[in-house]
Amino acid sequence: MKCNEVTELFSDYLAGNLDEAAQAEMQAHFASCSSCRQEAESLSALWQKLGALPEQQPSDAMRARFYAALAAYQQGLSKARSAPGWRETFSGWLEHWWPRQPVFQFGLALLFLGVGSFLGNRISVEENRNREISQMRDEVHNMRQLVTLSLLQQQSPSERLRGVSWSYRVGEPDAEVLSALLETLNHDPNVNVRLAAVDAFSRFSDQPAVRQGLIESLSKQRSPLIQIALIDLLIERRERLAVETFRQLKENELIDNAVRQRIEWGMQQLQ
């Protein structure tokens, strides 16, 4: 199980909704991945805090709605008594069931109020938990994007490689992260970092803006490794708009022979 698969299952893992096999895979991954283990521990602590939220008391508005519903129910009983046929029988049964003494009526009303308050409180707590979980996911998403942007700006190539790797953990990166990755692909002095950026873009190449950026990047590259990696990615995505860039690159006398052969093969694939 990979890190991105584990992070998608965090909420089900904390809620205990995973089967035994998935639970075992998660724990095995935590044993070998300190980053995911620390993130899971942090989310677990937040989950426990959510469970400790105080219960809310029913409001006056809820009490008023209950008595309004009770009055409507009693009005329905009154109409049922005057109905012909089976309705008369049903009305008699309700009349027999509903207590005549005011004390018992009041007690039954309090019982309904208690049940309504309990259900309303449970619904309110569940809504608050869902809201907190949604906010927690947004915070984790934003944190991953900030880490990615920060690492991509480091001086060390290994740190920039980590930044590209962190982009895999961002499910739906915003325009700033995509722009930073494209800047890395176009201008990073380290070939390995640029190759890693090409691999990262393979996850986001379904976006038209990303595809256009990859086509433009191909004409800027001077490394045959990067050129071939971009050509393969564009062909894999069946990007016909890249044909013109392929043609221009092929006519360049300084182009590497291996790249030229790859272009010729790619143009046949796209035709």
If DSSP states are collapsed to H, E and C, what string results for 171-231?
CCCCHHHHHHHHHHHHHCCCHHHHHHHHHHHCCCCCCHHHHHHHHHHHHHCCCHHHHHHHH
Q: Has residue 214 been placed in a domain?
A: no
**Can you tell me the distance from the alpha carbon of 214 to that of 233, in angstroms, rounded to the nearest whole number?**
9
Domain limits for position 19:
1-52
With respect to residue 263, please indicate whether it lies within any of the assigned structural domains.
Answer: no
- Helices 191-201 & 224-236, crossing angle to 10 degrees? 0
Joined tokens for residue 154: 């480091």
- Let me know if residue 87 belongs to a domain: no
Residue 104 is assigned to a structural domain of this protein = no
Nearest to 129 by CA among 45, 47, 44: 47
Q: Examine residue 165 and state whether it is found in any structural domain, yes or no.
A: no
0.85 surpassed by pTM: no
pLDDT, residue 95, reads 57
Q: Where do the DSSP E strands lie in the chain?
A: none
How far, CA to CA in Å, does 115 sit from each of 22, 34, 56, 97, 123? 37, 46, 14, 19, 12
Identity at 142, one-letter amino acid code: N
Q: How many Å is the maximal CA-CA distance in the chain?
A: 103
| pLDDT by 10s per residue, the chain, length 271 | 777 777 777 667 777 777 888 878 878 887 888 877 877 777 676 666 555 545 555 566 666 666 666 676 667 656 655 555 555 555 555 555 555 555 555 566 666 667 766 666 666 666 666 677 777 777 777 777 787 788 888 888 888 888 888 777 777 777 888 888 889 888 888 888 888 888 888 887 778 888 898 889 888 888 888 888 898 988 888 888 888 888 888 888 888 888 889 888 888 888 7
Query: In 3D, which of 236, 144, 13 has the Cα closest to residue 1?
Result: 13
Q: Provide the domain count of the chain.
A: 1
Q: Is 198 domain-assigned?
A: no
Query: Is residue 207 a part of any domain in this protein?
Result: no
**Other residues' Cβ atoms within 10 Å of the Cβ of residue 50:** 16
Residue with tokens 């199980």: 1
Residue 9 lies in a domain: yes
**CA 191 to CA 228: how far, in whole Å?**
13
Q: How many Cβ atoms from other residues are within 10 Å of residue 170's Cβ?
A: 22
